[in-house]
């Protein structure tokens, strides 16, 4: 059989299909191919992947990519492709006043993009110096409706922050209003809980199934851990379908909180970066593969880590069976990753350390069947 690209000799990890085995991967016309048993493959380009893992293209569920429209926005392709990321979701950088600019901007990018629109009119333009106003009396349903229509399926839901420094005396009022707004449009809601006005479990209990509580292992104020136990209500909310996302960020990840939560049985559903100009390529966040490495260091299995950056976020973004898998006939998005076995000290956002023995290094990224990034080591 003929192929455009053959990834040869790698260990394929595709949690969506329960696959973890050494096998070749063939790509033609932008799609993955089924290789019949014993049939030779004639390929225009062969990528040797011995001693590497081959995964579906990674999906970053929470980042800030409003590069031309906000102080902290990242250029999507530059940030994503060298790190094996083939799809990324922006978490609230835009509002109903400026979403068109980001839609237009990302039309020119290669990486696949989706968006959660902020409930405030302008989104997170310059959060450190100018927190978004969250007075629900200023919200207009008609403007949100127009944004969802213009988004043509790319705007998937809403985003609200509940931090004390953002909501001030409004307390839970913006969150409760955002929940009602999301219900009116049958959309999920992303909730930022760092230093929340009420316990994390209480926040989670307010949310509807399909909504996302991000920064699940944040370490400021009330966290997911209370007196050595999980905040009451967290596990019950998960059983109802509330989703827990890492969204590491610059200030939103604590090793002591994460280690305790994992030991108590609270795994995140997704692992993401909360990447922005403030933390991109900087310690402690650096990149999605680095955040993934932190969970390996805390004892999570490689297959579980891969699941949380492939098929799980694909399902949340409405792309189950289309993204986050290497099933024959699906779009050929893939990452070739070298696992370097060497001592490493990972850091969280507060200076706490976690020793590890593995570092993930992306050596190649394929997007829609095209080799869009290749490290020198793959020459």
* pLDDT for the residue 23: 96
Q: Is the pLDDT score of 129 beyond 90? A: no
Count of CB atoms situated within 10 Å of the CB of 40:
7
Q: Which of 150, 160, 146 is nearest to 107 (CA)?
A: 150
In this prediction, residues 182-200 reach a mean pLDDT of 97
Q: 2-55+328-345+354-378 with 58-316: one CATH topology? A: no
* pLDDT for the residue 250: 93
Band the pLDDT of 143: cuts 50, 70, 90.
very high
User: Terminal CA-to-CA distance of the chain, rounded, Å?
Assistant: 25
Q: Is the pLDDT score of 299 beyond 80? A: yes
Task: Using a pLDDT cut of 70, give the percent of the chain over it.
Answer: 100
Backbone Cα Rg of the chain? 20
Contact 274, 231 (CB under 8 A): no
Report pLDDT digits (tens) over 80-107: 999 999 999 999 999 999 999 999 999 9
Q: Which helix (H) or strand (E) holds 226?
A: strand 225-226
* pLDDT for the residue 126: 81
- Written as six digits, the tokens of 23 are 């096998």
Lowest mean pLDDT among 31-45, 258-272, 296-310, 325-339: 31-45
In this prediction, residues 316-329 reach a mean pLDDT of 98
* Phi and psi torsions of 108, nearest 5°: -90, -5
Q: Which residue(s) pair with 355 in the sheet?
A: 345
Mean pLDDT score of the chain: 96
* pLDDT for the residue 300: 98
Burial class (CB in 10 A: 0-12, 13-18, 19+), 151: middle
Band the pLDDT of 109: cuts 50, 70, 90.
very high
* pLDDT for the residue 28: 98
* CATH 2.30.40.10 is right for the domain spanning 2-55+328-345+354-378: yes
Using the structure block, give the residue that is written with the tokens 């997911």: 224
Q: Is the pLDDT score of 127 beyond 80? A: no
Q: Is the pLDDT score of 128 beyond 80? A: no
- Written as six digits, the tokens of 158 are 């809403």
* pLDDT for the residue 125: 84
Report pLDDT digits (tens) over 234-248: 999 999 999 999 999
Q: Which helix (H) or strand (E) holds 339?
A: strand 334-347
Identify which has the larger pLDDT, 200 or 71. 200
Report pLDDT digits (tens) over 32-73: 999 998 899 999 999 999 999 999 999 999 999 999 999 999
Four-way CATH pick for 58-316: 3.20.20.140, 3.30.565.10, 3.30.930.10, 1.10.10.10: 3.20.20.140
Q: Measured between alpha carbons, how far is 295 from 341 in angstroms, rounded to an integer?
A: 15
Sequence spans of domains, the chain:
2-55+328-345+354-378, 58-316
In this prediction, residues 345-350 reach a mean pLDDT of 98
In this prediction, residues 249-275 reach a mean pLDDT of 97
Q: Is the pLDDT score of 379 beyond 80? A: no
Cα-based torsion angle of the residue sequence 216, 217, 220, 225 in order, rounded to the nearest 10 degrees? 90
């Amino acid at each position: 059989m003929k192929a455009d690209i053959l990834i040869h000799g790698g260990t394929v990890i595709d949690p969506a299909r329960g696959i973890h085995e050494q096998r070749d991967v063939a790509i033609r016309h932008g799609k993955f191919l089924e290789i019949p048993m014993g049939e030779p493959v004639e390929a225009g380009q062969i990528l040797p992947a011995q001693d590497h893992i081959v995964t579906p293209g990674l999906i970053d569920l929470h980042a800030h990519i409003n590069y031309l429209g906000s102080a902290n926005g990242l250029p999507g392709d530059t940030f994503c492709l060298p790190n094996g990321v083939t799809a990324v979701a922006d978490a609230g950088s835009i509002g109903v006043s400026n979403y068109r600019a980001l839609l237009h901007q990302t039309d020119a990018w290669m990486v696949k993009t989706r968006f959660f629109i902020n409930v405030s009119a302008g989104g997170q333009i310059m959060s450190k110096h100018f927190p978004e106003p969250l007075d629900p009396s200023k919200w207009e349903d008609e403007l949100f409706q127009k944004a969802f229509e213009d988004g043509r399926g790319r705007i998937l839901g809403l985003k609200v922050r509940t931090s004390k420094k953002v909501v001030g005396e409004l307390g839970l009022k913006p969150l409760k209003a955002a929940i009602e707004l999301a219900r009116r449009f049958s959309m999920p809601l992303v909730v930022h809980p760092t230093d929340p006005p009420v316990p994390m479990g209480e926040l989670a209990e307010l949310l509807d199934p399909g909504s996302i509580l991000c920064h699940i292992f944040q370490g400021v104020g009330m966290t997911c851990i209370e007196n050595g136990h999980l905040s009451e209500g967290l596990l019950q909310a998960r059983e109802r379908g509330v989703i827990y996302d890492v969204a590491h960020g610059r200030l939103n990840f604590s090793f002591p909180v994460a280690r305790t939560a994992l030991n108590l049985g609270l795994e995140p559903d997704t692992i993401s970066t909360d990447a922005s100009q403030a933390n991109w390529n900087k310690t402690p966040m650096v990149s999605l593969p680095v955040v993934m490495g932190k969970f390996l260091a805390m004892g999570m299995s490689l297959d579980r880590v891969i699941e949380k950056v492939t098929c799980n976020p694909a399902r949340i973004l409405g792309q189950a069976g289309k993204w986050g898998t290497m099933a024959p006939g699906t779009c050929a998005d893939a990452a070739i990753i070298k696992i370097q076995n060497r001592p490493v000290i990972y850091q969280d956002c507060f200076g706490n350390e976690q020793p590890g023995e593995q570092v993930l290094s992306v050596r190649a990224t394929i997007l829609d069947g095209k080799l869009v990034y290749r490290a020198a080591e793959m020459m």
